[in-house]
A and B are shown apart, each in its own frame.
Chain A
Amino acid sequence: MAGFFNKIRNASTPSTAQTSKELVSKKKDEIVPELTPLEKMLQNAGPLREDATDKFFGFENALFYSDLFRESVINYPSLSPSDSSNGSRPRVNVTLRPPLNPTLAPQQQTKKGISAKEAMKQKQALSAGQPAPGQPAVKPEDKPDTPEYKKKQAMLKGPILELAQENAMPYGMDECTFTGLKDIFLAVLQSNTRTGVLSPQRFLEIFKRDNEMFRNSMHQDAHEFYGLVLNDVIANVEANARKIQERLEVNGQSDLAQSVENALGSALVNNATGYRTPGTGWVHDIFEGVLTSETKCLTCETASQRDETFLDLSIDLEEHSSVTSCLRKFSAEEMLCERNKFHCDHCGGLQEAEKRMKVKRLPKVLTLHLKRFKYTEDYSRLQKLFHRVVYPYHLRMFNTTEDAEDPDRMYELYAVVVHIGGNAYHGHYVSIIKTPDRGWVLFDDEMVEPVDKHFVRNFFGDKPGMATAYVLFYQETTFEKVREEQEREGMEEVKLATQAANVAQDESVDKAETAPLKRQVTQPVIMPEHESLANLAHAATAPGLANAPTSPAVETPVASELPSGSLSSSGLITSSTAKMETKSKDDLKREKKEREAAEKAARQAEKEKEKLKEKQYKEDEKKRREDQAKAMQARRNEHEELQKALEASKKSAAQEEAVRKKEEGGSTGFLDRSKKGSKSMSKRSFSFFRDKNGPAVPDSPVNGDAPEKEKKGRISMGLGRKKSMPFLS
């Protein structure tokens, strides 16, 4: 139900320009598996990239999207000619688990009538890490627009790369964390689709085998995990290098020498500079920096220096600070006194001393661990700090030593690991990662979603929802690159600025939407003429790309959806009176329909989509107006429904109904019908309608969310309409 509301409102979005792209995006809120924004984004993508940076799989990605790290992992150990004469990489043994039976999918949709209120409650409960008390029999994953739902859809859509077996042998290494990781990366690389879900089962098994503390079901710390993975990888690589070296000494093979050199190359270089143990290699090269701790004994004034390497910096936080400031504080002078005295070699005893840590060598990838979990005596447990800590998109380090090389090195933020939850013992991690050419992408388990640049700033710690940035990844960049990028992202910025204005203006569009994860607004609202045109053109020529993995049944609604957002709403209108149909009937019908549609629609879908898209684009202006009117009508009908559907049990029925209707709408083509009459809806009638329905809404307990939306929608629609008038006429 909520989905309908949203959609309708979207369709009526009377913003300055409702682009066809936006319409496409609307499907996201629909009930049936549709194109996710991600897929949409990828529709116009070119051929698959060699380096797989354009693949978006739901899994822990921060490491994958570090170009250096990915390439190193994939290319290590370099293959000797004897291993594979043609130089191709060993094929990872991937089990492609088929997507869940598509015929099952509709069944979940029967339960969709959950109110947003309930969903909200559930989500709150979920984020608090507890099962919701008295939770209705509806699973959160069945509610559209929730992350749970999207994750499930991702699983349905597949492909699911299941890495249950180990491929250590071709690498000439024993099974270890590194090989597991490499498997994952290779699997993604070798996958011929851009999206999908990767299940790193074997990796986790190995990891758990090697790390005892992860062998339980407790929630683990992402930072710890990161550290362990890196350390394991280092250890594995080192061990392997040693092994190869031994073998090398025995055999004296020249081809292997190459790989050893690769592994050891940087380490050897660094050996000369003196702060490395031999055999470390590329992992260090990427992530490792060097800290110098200067300790000055306050008794004898002797200053001593000690270098230590780090893979990440754990920094203390204070309220209302910036990462810059926290880093500076990290390097601030610290007194070693009382129980924490310093053993001075010069005085020969424990003395009070001053200590400060500075960065001597900056790493290529700077990992900042924000110490959000603090042990408090009061509670005798770890407490999460919700300090507002701001992080800029770019960073330079102030706390370098004077002899540091390139002390003004510029870093750019490229990944944020976000912890959601109220304490240290529970919670959920998601990551937001800047992909090389697709902008920022949110990875939440199986769900992968493109987000805009400003989204990254939502995790300073002061926003509700208990989501805070926990680990920040900054990678080395240059001023020139940053400028170039800013030039490039210029239009995006304009777009976002316009959206921000529209959010404030078209009240219906954004604020009114309670559906939390709706993406519609992040699509371009303005400038349909140019940007969206380009995208659409691409999409039309290569529609199969993104859709390839979707099942036929899945495709049907997508296609039918495309004509416009209004189509489905009109479908709703026509059949709203039939709302009271029984559930069982629906089920039967639907299942049957599904099968039929699967065959028919799959074929039609593509054609239709293309056609309709084009058509739609042309009629964009016109439709916008129609959509408005249609939405009004739809809403009115919705009201009637609501009043009718008083019992809670009908929630699901309604939802089912909706699905079915939408499908009907697609196949029977209500386009004409909906076009008629839409123009006859006048502003006046619209406002009248609002007045009439306003008070009636609360009567329906079915959808607790409805009245709220209704109200919101009302004013906003009026405003939006007003706004769009000059453009329309």
Chain B
Amino acid sequence: MFVLPPPPRYPAGAYGVGLGGVVPLIETNNTLSNPTGPEYQFLVGEGTYVLKEDLHLATPPPHPSEAPVVNPNPLATTPQPATAGTKMSILSLETRPPPFFYKGPAATTLSLGGTTLSIQEHPSEGRYSTEGAKSSEDGRATSSEVPTGSITLGSAPAFGEGNSLLAPTVSKDVNKKKKPKNNVTKSNSSFISRVIVNDNLARKLTERPSDGLFAFANINRAFQWLDMSSPTKQDYLTKILFTKAHCLCHDVNMVTKSVSHIDVIMGFSTGEIIWWEPISQRYTRLNKNGIINNTPVSEIRWIPGSENLFLAAHMDGLLVVYDKEKEDGHLNPEEEGLNASVSGSEGELSNGSAHGNGIRINKSVHSKNQKTNPVAAWKLSNQRINAFAFSPDNRHLAVVSEDGTLRVIDYLREELLDLYYSYYGGLSCVCWTPDGKYVLTGGQDDLISIWSMADSALVARCQGHRSWVSALAFDLWRCDDRSYRFGSVGEDGRLCLWDFSVGMLHRPKTAAPAARHRGSISSRITAPHRTDTNTSANSGGMGGPGTEDEWEENVIAHPVQPRAVIPMLPPVLTHVIDNHPACWLAFTEDAIITSCKSGHVRTWSRPGVQAATA
């Protein structure tokens, strides 16, 4: 279709001189170091965490076709392409029970969705594999066997369950998973610049310990697959360099992972999505040329329990469910981009009145046209979505945006349940407590906010970062039924660890003196709004008048709470982990792993662990 032109020749001096005389290197290598010293360890209640190693992932230089120099004019008004720092995901092929089980509603009074809750566990690495889950849902009929619908645990129905069109042919051979179409190493796509596969990939894969961790990382236009259990982990298993697009996010499917198959999806600054299977080195491009949506993908996640479906957040405020195996259809970009009409491309709209439920459904999952992608598309607003997270019970979705909103969505029913606002500034990250009772958000107010789902209210603000908060994660090894440990990293290059317990999070004092925007919180707290979203229509001081009218029906928009009435939590630890803005963290059984914008992946051994390893 299109042939990439041969690589340009670099005439030495022709322009290189003016640009500093350095012809950019095509490739740089990852490096592994073990810095030691007092600044590389920190003490918390449970002991001392020590930096085990610092893996520096090479930031790829710009593609030769790009301008090798940064525009020297600081006032240049050319927009920059979207970029994200180093985002990683960690994958263990071995299915081990996670350290912390959420035992369902018995333990709590939580009434999410008003139905009995599923038995749900929060996995160590994102979502728990289905191995155990499948056995536990023997009683379930059709839907659990449906590979394309999402297999959810317990009583939560699978996403798209009601739609028979989403129930595809059941393949008998469970072990034979469908692979993407194209071979990535032999690709002549202009989208992929280079693929470097480790020479010893096959040997490395067979020789590695079965419980070893894989890591996937996107950094600028590179995507790396690493073996964290290898002593030479700086040697990537595979590295893909894209031509121009930056990979902004990715996710690994926890359902389909196996020794012979790993499903990875990546979202790009061009809006495109790649489904990549690293073992076979095959890939498929979705939303090619931004045909469905042409704005960058800021976050991408597999729908929990689903083999095929994943959710991508586009920066124009659109959430799109894609099927990895479906072709791209048209979700008319013009119409969808403009606020004018509420029609998806196929004219396929189950819920015509979009404002009735607070999100505009450009295409419903119940749509009768499911031949092509997207499976579903929901427009939340016109503001950039920064992140989203699925609740542990697989019913809800928490979405945070650049305009400072947190939306809690029942994505099975495609309904907006709650709308919260940051203290000020955009929200950049979100996560759920392992039991799904609280949602945490971090943002440009330097705060982490804890929102109670049962009370539909802000219960605490956590102050400790010196700049914007960029990522949040729970430490499942230090969480239990009553108390939680979570960590956060921010643009200040700091790691903060926080402890909070149910007891600490008393309800907000409602008898606060009058301020401008204060809704009657007390009335809402008692209202079991989850079971009946129509009851309390209090929209307090939120929004403009227009939005209030539109949303009053079904959505509770929660006004900003004044500082004085919300408890402020201090961190149990704040430590500078990097001299670059940090952008990601994760907890594993024996370490905390952090990454920064310049590509330093640091592993901080838990107390006691380093003694064993060192």
Binding site for B on A (CB under 8 A): 16, 117, 120-121, 123-124, 127, 146-147, 318-322, 324-325, 388, 390, 392-396, 398, 406-408, 410, 418, 420, 430, 442, 444, 449, 451-452, 454-455, 458-459, 463-467, 478-480, 483-484, 486-487, 489-491, 493-494, 496-505, 507, 510-514, 516-519, 521-522, 526-527, 529-530, 683, 687, 690-691, 694-695, 697-698, 704-705, 707-708, 711-712, 714-716, 718-719, 722-723, 725-726
B491 at the interface (CB under 8 A from A): yes
Asked if A497 and B315 make an inter-chain contact with CB atoms under 8 angstroms apart, the answer reads yes
Give the complex CA separation of A702 and B7 in angstroms: 24
B105 at the interface (CB under 8 A from A): no
Chain B residues with CB under 8 A of A504: 81-82, 244-246, 268-270, 296
- 4 closest Cβ contacts across the A-B interface? A465-B74, A490-B382, A467-B74, A698-B11
Asked if B65 and A722 make an inter-chain contact with CB atoms under 8 angstroms apart, the answer reads no
User: Closest CB-CB distance, B441 to chain A, in whole Å?
Assistant: 15
Chain A residues with CB under 8 A of B334: 526-527, 529-530
B66 at the interface (CB under 8 A from A): yes
Give the complex CA separation of A459 and B6 in angstroms: 38
Asked if B79 and A500 make an inter-chain contact with CB atoms under 8 angstroms apart, the answer reads yes
Asked if A711 and B8 make an inter-chain contact with CB atoms under 8 angstroms apart, the answer reads yes
Asked if A497 and B296 make an inter-chain contact with CB atoms under 8 angstroms apart, the answer reads yes
Chain B residues with CB under 8 A of A480: 517, 541, 543-544
Give the complex CA separation of A410 and B559 in angstroms: 13
User: Closest CB-CB distance, B273 to chain A, in whole Å?
Assistant: 12
| Surface stretch bound by A, among B39-47, B203-211, B335-343 | B335-343
Question: Which residues of B335-376 have CB atoms within 8 Å of chain A's CB atoms?
Answer: 337-340
Asked if B491 and A722 make an inter-chain contact with CB atoms under 8 angstroms apart, the answer reads no
Give the complex CA separation of A681 and B592 in angstroms: 57
User: Closest CB-CB distance, B525 to chain A, in whole Å?
Assistant: 21
Q: Which of A395, A454, A501 has the most CB of B within 10 A?
A: A501
Chain A residues with CB under 8 A of B279: none
Asked if A708 and B67 make an inter-chain contact with CB atoms under 8 angstroms apart, the answer reads yes
Asked if A483 and B544 make an inter-chain contact with CB atoms under 8 angstroms apart, the answer reads yes
Number of B positions contacting A (CB below 8 A): 97
User: Closest CB-CB distance, A401 to chain B, in whole Å?
Assistant: 12
Asked if B269 and A497 make an inter-chain contact with CB atoms under 8 angstroms apart, the answer reads no
Asked if A458 and B338 make an inter-chain contact with CB atoms under 8 angstroms apart, the answer reads no
Asked if B1 and A722 make an inter-chain contact with CB atoms under 8 angstroms apart, the answer reads yes
Contact of B190 among A390, A396, A496, A715 (CB under 8 A): A715
Chain A residues with CB under 8 A of B123: none
Asked if A517 and B73 make an inter-chain contact with CB atoms under 8 angstroms apart, the answer reads yes
Give the complex CA separation of A507 and B191 in angstroms: 11
Enumerate 23 A-B pairs (CB-CB under 8 Å) in ascending A order.
A320-B580, A322-B446, A392-B425, A394-B424, A449-B77, A478-B517, A483-B547, A490-B381, A490-B383, A493-B383, A494-B317, A497-B295, A497-B296, A497-B314, A500-B82, A505-B289, A511-B78, A516-B76, A526-B294, A526-B334, A707-B14, A718-B4, A719-B190
Chain B residues with CB under 8 A of A467: 74-75
B487 at the interface (CB under 8 A from A): no
B493 at the interface (CB under 8 A from A): yes
B580-603 vs A, Cβ < 8 Å mask (1 yes, 0 no): 110000000000000000000000
Chain A residues with CB under 8 A of B160: none
User: Closest CB-CB distance, B521 to chain A, in whole Å?
Assistant: 15
Give the complex CA separation of A714 and B66 in angstroms: 10
Chain A residues with CB under 8 A of B4: 715, 718
User: Closest CB-CB distance, A66 to chain B, in whole Å?
Assistant: 20
Known: A490-B381, A500-B296, A691-B5. 5 other contacts (CB 8 A): A319-B579, A395-B425, A408-B560, A518-B78, A697-B11
Binding site for A on B (CB under 8 A): 1-6, 8-9, 11, 14-15, 18-19, 64-82, 190, 243-246, 268-271, 289-291, 294-296, 314-317, 333-334, 337-340, 381-384, 402-404, 421, 423-426, 444-446, 463, 465-468, 491-493, 515-517, 541-544, 546-547, 559-560, 562-564, 579-581
- Known A-B contacts A325-B467, A486-B403, A490-B381; the reply to A501 vs B291 at CB < 8 A is no
Chain B residues with CB under 8 A of A723: 289-290
Contact of A501 among B1, B68, B74, B82 (CB under 8 A): B82
User: Closest CB-CB distance, B443 to chain A, in whole Å?
Assistant: 9
Give the complex CA separation of A519 and B296 in angstroms: 21
Chain A residues with CB under 8 A of B316: 493-494, 497-498
Give the complex CA separation of A452 and B404 in angstroms: 19
Chain B residues with CB under 8 A of A146: 73
- Known A-B contacts A494-B382, A723-B290; the reply to A430 vs B75 at CB < 8 A is yes
Contact of B541 among A392, A479, A516 (CB under 8 A): A479
Give the complex CA separation of A507 and B62 in angstroms: 12
Asked if A501 and B295 make an inter-chain contact with CB atoms under 8 angstroms apart, the answer reads yes
Chain A residues with CB under 8 A of B295: 494, 497-498, 500-501
User: Closest CB-CB distance, A459 to chain B, in whole Å?
Assistant: 8
* Chain B: CB-nearest residue to A713: B65
Asked if A498 and B424 make an inter-chain contact with CB atoms under 8 angstroms apart, the answer reads no
- Known A-B contacts A388-B581, A392-B426; the reply to A722 vs B289 at CB < 8 A is yes
Chain A residues with CB under 8 A of B466: 318, 320-322, 325
Chain A residues with CB under 8 A of B403: 486
Give the complex CA separation of A486 and B493 in angstroms: 30
- Known A-B contacts A408-B562, A479-B541, A497-B384; the reply to A714 vs B8 at CB < 8 A is yes
